Amino acid sequence: MCINTDVSMQNKLKIINDPVHGFIKIPHEILFDIIEHPYFQRLRRISQTGLLSLIFPGATHTRFHHALGAMHLMFTALETLKQKGVKISDEEEKGAMLAILMHDIGHGPFSHALESMLMDDWHHENLSLLLMNRLNEEFNGELNVAIEMFQGKYHRKFFNQLISSQLDVDRLDYLKRDSFFTGVSEGNINTQRIISMMNVCEEGELVIDAKGIYSIENFLTARMFMYWQVYYHKTSALAEFLLVKILERAKYLVSQGIDLPATENLKYFLYRGKSSATDEDVERFTQMDDNDVIQAMKSWQNSDDIILSYWCKCVIQRNLPKTIISSHPFDPKLIEEKIKKTNEFFGIDNGQDLVHEIKRKLLPYDTEKQPIYLLQKSGLKLRLDESEDQLLSGLIVNKTTRYILTFPRDINSLIS
């Protein structure tokens, strides 16, 4: 029997079994090539929801899962639009699927939490674009259309809106996926119904058929509930905050000449000063994942620095600080009292480093930033919040803010 080992003859049109969407097709070979690339495979080791598994044990899914799911929903959306008479070429389909597949490729360890700590406020979208350009060189310009769509420079606007807007396939996937893995049913939106209502108006913008208004309102309210119940849950907000403070403290300590054990790539970023991203920065960044930070926190539990040691133990041992949530800022006198008790308990004079007020704010539906339009039977489009048929949209256009006070749980044992 003759076995052909030529990689070029490999069948790349695979089918992937996804727990959320079922079978996902890979209809273009370039999609398979990107998925197989080390830049993309790294996403298997990047948590989709940071430390959310400390609160919802099932939330152990990754950016890899999410990117594949978003690609699948993009394919479904494009097929729906084609059936409604929207002309979409094979190149455009391939470009849109590539763009959404790679939209999170620049995420660092624990996703959003640490992106500003490691690369000086380089948003993950900037890093994603940088890596897309590198991949484009490697694949001889095959990603040109994808990059144009990702940047919003492609002449047909609806492609970028499917990638990034208030109703994009990115949000459709992460809401349904995070709902599935956390077990929080309020986020379990009907993605198929929403996609079936998508259309493109004469101006080339993404719109929703008017009869789909309640599905859209359900999507917006589901997103709001997921933020307050899951992403902005007080313990979730605390865990993300602790990650930032741990890296911030570690960077401060190494700047003071204290050597901290860490993997080679993480240590590089701890010592790195503020500057523009270099080739070495990018190379090292693409070799890092959640494991680098977890390994460091395990070691830093034994640090001589009480602040760093305390925070790392909080995360690794899941012995988290106490939290109180409020819709108003906390009384400065209460904060001072917590700082005083922290100093007494630990025998330190910098208790303010362990007592913090965390703020989280959410605007469920922004009527100005890429508003959602409904397509009437007359062919005219109408803003969702201006429709006479809307029930909830007018109630979710205001920003809501919550305040979380965190302090060491042990100080509650002190007698005032």
347-352: list long-range contacts, CB under 8 Å, 24+ apart: 348/306, 350/307
The Cα 174–Cα 162 span in angstroms is 14
254-262: list long-range contacts, CB under 8 Å, 24+ apart: 258/305, 260/296, 260/299, 260/300, 260/303, 261/296, 261/299, 261/300, 262/292, 262/295, 262/296, 262/299
The Cα 149–Cα 96 span in angstroms is 7
Q: At what angle do helices 306-316 and 234-255 cross, to 10 degrees?
A: 140
User: What confidence tier does 4 reach under pLDDT thresholds 50, 70, 90?
Assistant: very low
List all residues 6 or more positions away from 78 whose beta carbon is below 8 Å from its beta carbon: 88, 93, 96, 97, 162
Please give the backbone phi and psi of residue 299, each rounded to the nearest 5 degrees, phi first: -70, -40
| Contact yes or no for 63/48 (Cβ under 8 A) | yes
Q: At what angle do helices 144-151 and 90-101 cross, to 10 degrees?
A: 60
198-200/15-18 β-pairing: unpaired
Burial pattern 13-43, b for ≥16 Cβ within 10 A else e, equals: eeebeeebbeebebebbbbbebbebebbebb
| Contact yes or no for 55/233 (Cβ under 8 A) | yes
Q: Which tens digits make up the pLDDT trace of 351-362?
A: 999 999 999 999
- Residue carrying structure tokens 């991203």: 277
User: What confidence tier does 368 reach under pLDDT thresholds 50, 70, 90?
Assistant: confident
Q: Which tens digits make up the pLDDT trace of 91-150?
A: 999 999 999 999 999 988 987 666 666 666 566 678 889 999 999 999 999 999 999 999
- Residue 113, pLDDT score: 60
- Residue 412, pLDDT score: 72
Q: Which of 52-61, 269-278, 290-299, 372-381 has the lowest mean pLDDT?
A: 269-278
- Residue 394, pLDDT score: 66
- Residue 3, pLDDT score: 40
| Averaged pLDDT, 275-300 | 90
The structural domains of the chain, ordered by start, are 15-226+377-398 (1.10.3210.10), 233-320 (1.20.1250.30), 322-363+401-415 (no CATH)
Q: Retrieve residue 321's tokens.
A: 């600080």
Sheet holding 381-383, edge to edge: 198-200, 206-209, 373-375, 381-383
Left (φ > 0), alpha (ψ -120 to 50) or beta: where does 16 sit? Answer: beta
